[in-house]
């Protein structure tokens, strides 16, 4: 057995009397990619923050490369060759890549900056791992994927031999993920040790050499990943029970057309065309999934359908009535529910209490409101009902939504959006960032809504999710509808459409040019 880069023994970390880590052991072999798997709240990030010196454990020892180490601060961790890339990037957005890297260490030229030298070295490193990062580009101009590469580049440049990556693929498209994994493999072959915090099983199976599973702060087990390990094995370790991956298809025929988009076009925030001549029909009691790589107009489409963004051409009808370009309140009144992509800024008022978030769209209407006064008692009843129906875990209804976990926050949104008996449900990335258990719950709820006759529209960059849920699968690329496929279609065919197969050569070239410009 190769030597251990990291050896953690009996790590215990307590928050408010709760063991976030409870005597956890963790071993990282040198030159391997190690998956750290667990649901949200399982203590993965806590364990890694201990390793990175952000938290001091109450108990336990850490040895780096066989030597016992007191890691009292991130500075110490960096000196020991440990680098960490957080889920939320720690980059100064107005500065360039090289300036960001230089923030972390002293200049070699005394009081002068060594920008040129650093930039050259960064470029060499970037070329070596084919990251394609220009040291002089400003952070805010980079895509999320590129920013992540900058973080990794910077960690390696600062001498990291042990790299901790916290849910790195949460922000990446499937394509970016593939490229990213190639980079990781090359780094591993260069002798670096990598820890991948994740709750995505596919990732564990595709890239990881070994996996450690945590549940509720406790170590469940560590295993080498080979062909014998299946998704079900990992799930059972992670969740402690079987999880549904297959949902029942539609048992009856879908009803009438409820919502119809006819040649809708719309601009994005930069004023460029984001949706082009998009037509789609949603029928009563069916789920239409929209597959597509992130940023191909899905967000704009959902916004047009709920009045948050005007369409510049085309027509929308609801039950035959023209509903093009009204105010958001109009669509709410028509019982078109919307689970937005951006939970934090759009879907929730983070500083508001739980029970007020549940009435975000209904505080002006009876029964919550009587004689222009919000009825406190009704609000409380509404909360207690939602808490029970949606299994929202919180101390009480007065707790700020900010304090809840992602899964619970999404349950609050679900409770609100499904409680009004929606006629149409528009769910944009409804399970992004959720752990397996919570995602399963959300999907079951969407299926239930469909079974009650709601016309559901599920947008997801996760093809797996689309395949599981959809009765029909629409594919979007470059703001255009590429085709509509039935349930059970070949994922490869969908994937090809997601990449824009079938669009005329010319169009494709033009798209590429545009992408190159930006």
Partner 1 sequence: MSNRTSIKVALEIVGTVLMVVGALLIGAVLVVLSENNPIEAYQAMIAGAFGSKQKIAEVVVKLIPILIMSLGVSIAFKAQLWNIGAGGQFLMGSIVSVAIALYVPVPIWLRIPLSFAAAIVVGAGWAALAGWLKARFSANEVITTLMLNYIAHYLLLYLINGPMQDPYSDLSQTDVIPDGMRLTKLLGPTFRLHSGLFIMIAVVVLMIFFWRTTLGYRIDLTGQGEKVATYSGINVNRTVILTMGLSGGLIGLAGWIEIFGIQFRLLDGIAGGLGNTATIVALLGSLNVYGVIAAAIFFSALLCGGASMKRMTDVPYSVVDVIQGLIIIFVIAKNVVWDRCDPMKLFSKKKGYSQHAE
337 strand-pairing partners: 425
Contact call for residue 18 and partner 1 (CB under 8 A): yes
User: Out of 113, 205, 308, 499, which residue is the one contacting partner 1 (CB under 8 A)?
Assistant: 308
Contact call for residue 103 and partner 1 (CB under 8 A): no
Contacts of residue 115, defined as CB under 8 A and 6 or more positions apart, other chains included, come to 98, 99, 102
Contact call for residue 46 and partner 1 (CB under 8 A): yes
Contact call for residue 363 and partner 1 (CB under 8 A): yes
Contact call for residue 411 and partner 1 (CB under 8 A): no
Least distance CB 486 / partner 1 (angstroms) = 33
Locate 89 and state its tokens.
């990037």
3-state SS track over 59-104: EEEEEECCEECCCCCHHHHHHCCEEEECCCCCCCCCCEHHHHHHCC
Contacts of residue 480, defined as CB under 8 A and 6 or more positions apart, other chains included, come to 276, 277, 278, 297, 503
Locate 331 and state its tokens.
């669509």
From the list 12-20, 131-139, 244-252, 312-320, the region that binds partner 1 by CB under 8 A is: 12-20
Least distance CB 20 / partner 1 (angstroms) = 4
Contact call for residue 369 and partner 1 (CB under 8 A): yes
From the list 220-228, 289-297, 324-332, 457-465, the region that binds partner 1 by CB under 8 A is: 324-332
Cβ-based nearer residue to partner 1, 15 or 140: 15
3-state SS track over 148-202: HHHHHHHHHHCCCCEEEEECHHHHCCHHHHHHHHHHHHHHHHCCCEEEEEECCHH
What is the secondary structure of 204-251 as a DSSP string?
Answer: HHHH-SEEEEEETTEEEEEEE--TT--HHHHHHHHHSS---------S
| Cα torsion 442, 448, 454, 456: sign | positive
- Report how many residues bind partner 1 under the rule CB under 8 A: 51
Between the alpha carbon of residue 479 and those of residues 257, 294, 312, 352, the distances in Å are 23, 11, 13, 35
Cβ-based nearer residue to partner 1, 99 or 387: 387
What does the per-residue mask of binding to partner 1 show for 195-234, with x meaning CB under 8 A? ----------------------x-----------------
From the list 182-190, 220-228, 366-374, 501-509, the region that binds partner 1 by CB under 8 A is: 366-374
| DSSP symbol at 478 | T
| DSSP symbol at 2 | P
User: Out of 346, 378, 453, 507, which residue is the one contacting partner 1 (CB under 8 A)?
Assistant: 346
Please list, residue by residue across 391-414, b when 16 or more beta carbons sit within 10 angstroms of its beta carbon and e when fewer do.
ebebeebeebbeebbbbbbbbbbb
Cβ-based nearer residue to partner 1, 68 or 87: 87
Contact call for residue 40 and partner 1 (CB under 8 A): yes
User: Out of 31, 83, 297, 340, which residue is the one contacting partner 1 (CB under 8 A)?
Assistant: 340
> Taking the chain, what is the end-to-end CA distance rounded to the nearest angstrom?
48
From the list 108-116, 248-256, 257-265, 370-378, the region that binds partner 1 by CB under 8 A is: 370-378
Contact call for residue 327 and partner 1 (CB under 8 A): yes
From the list 37-45, 223-231, 384-392, 436-444, the region that binds partner 1 by CB under 8 A is: 37-45
User: Out of 62, 152, 348, 458, which residue is the one contacting partner 1 (CB under 8 A)?
Assistant: 348
Contact call for residue 377 and partner 1 (CB under 8 A): no
Q: Applying CB under 8 A, which residues contact partner 1?
A: 15-18, 20, 40-41, 43-46, 49, 55, 217, 306, 308, 327-329, 331-333, 338, 340, 342, 345-352, 356, 360-361, 363-364, 369, 372-374, 376, 393, 395-399, 403, 405
């Amino acid at each position: 057995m190769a030597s251990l880069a990291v050896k953690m023994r009996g790590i215990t970390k307590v928050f408010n009397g709760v063991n976030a880590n409870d005597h956890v052991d963790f071993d990282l072999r040198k030159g391997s990619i190690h998956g750290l798997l667990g649901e949200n709240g399982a203590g993965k990030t806590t364990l890694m923050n201990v390793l990175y010196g952000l938290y001091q454990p109450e108990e336990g020892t850490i040895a780096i490369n066989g030597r016992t180490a007191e890691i009292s601060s991130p500075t110490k961790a960096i000196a020991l060759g440990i680098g960490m890339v957080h889920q939320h990037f720690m980059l100064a957005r107005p500065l360039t890549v090289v300036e960001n890297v230089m923030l972390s260490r002293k200049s070699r030229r005394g009081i002068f900056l060594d920008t040129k030298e650093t930039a050259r070295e960064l470029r060499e490193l970037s070329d070596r791992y084919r990251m394609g990062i220009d040291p002089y580009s400003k952070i805010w101009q980079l895509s999320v994927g590129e920013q992540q590469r900058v973080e990794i580049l910077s960690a390696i440049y600062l001498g990291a031999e042990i790299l901790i990556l916290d849910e790195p693929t949460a922000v990446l498209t499937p394509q970016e993920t593939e490229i990213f994994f190639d980079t990781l493999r090359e780094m591993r072959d260069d002798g670096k040790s990598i820890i991948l915090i994740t709750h995505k099983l596919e990732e564990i199976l595709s890239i990881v050499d070994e996996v450690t599973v945590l549940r509720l702060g406790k170590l469940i087990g560590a295993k080498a990943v080979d062909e014998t390990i299946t998704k079900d094995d990992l799930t059972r370790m992670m969740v402690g029970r079987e999880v549904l991956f297959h949902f029942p298809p539609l048992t009856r025929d879908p009803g009438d057309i409820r919502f119809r988009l006819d040649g809708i076009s719309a601009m994005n925030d930069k004023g460029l065309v984001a949706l082009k001549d998009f037509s789609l029909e949603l029928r009563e009691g069916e789920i239409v999934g929209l597959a597509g790589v992130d940023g191909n107009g899905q967000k704009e489409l959902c916004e047009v359908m709920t009045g948050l963004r005007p369409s510049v051409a085309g027509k929308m009808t609801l039950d035959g009535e023209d509903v093009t370009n009204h105010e958001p309140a109009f669509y709410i009144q028509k019982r078109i529910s919307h689970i937005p992509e951006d939970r934090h800024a759009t879907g929730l008022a983070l500083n508001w209490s739980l029970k007020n978030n549940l009435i975000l769209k209904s505080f002006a209407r009876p029964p919550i409101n009587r004689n222009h006064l919000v009825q406190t008692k009704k609000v409380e009843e509404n909360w207690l009902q939602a808490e029970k129906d949606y299994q929202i875990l919180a101390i009480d209804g007065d707790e700020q939504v900010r304090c809840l976990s992602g899964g619970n926050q999404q349950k609050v949104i679900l409770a609100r959006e499904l409680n009004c008996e929606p006629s149409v449900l528009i769910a944009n990335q409804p399970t992004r960032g959720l752990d397996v258990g919570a995602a399963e719950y959300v999907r079951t709820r969407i299926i239930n809504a469909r079974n009650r006759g709601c016309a559901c529209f599920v947008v997801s960059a996760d093809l797996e999710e689309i395949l599981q849920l959809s009765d029909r699968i629409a594919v979007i690329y470059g703001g255009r509808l590429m085709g509509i496929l039935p349930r059970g279609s070949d994922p490869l065919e969908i994937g090809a459409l997601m990449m824009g197969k079938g669009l005329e050569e010319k169009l494709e070239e033009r798209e590429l040019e545009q992408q190159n410009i930006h």
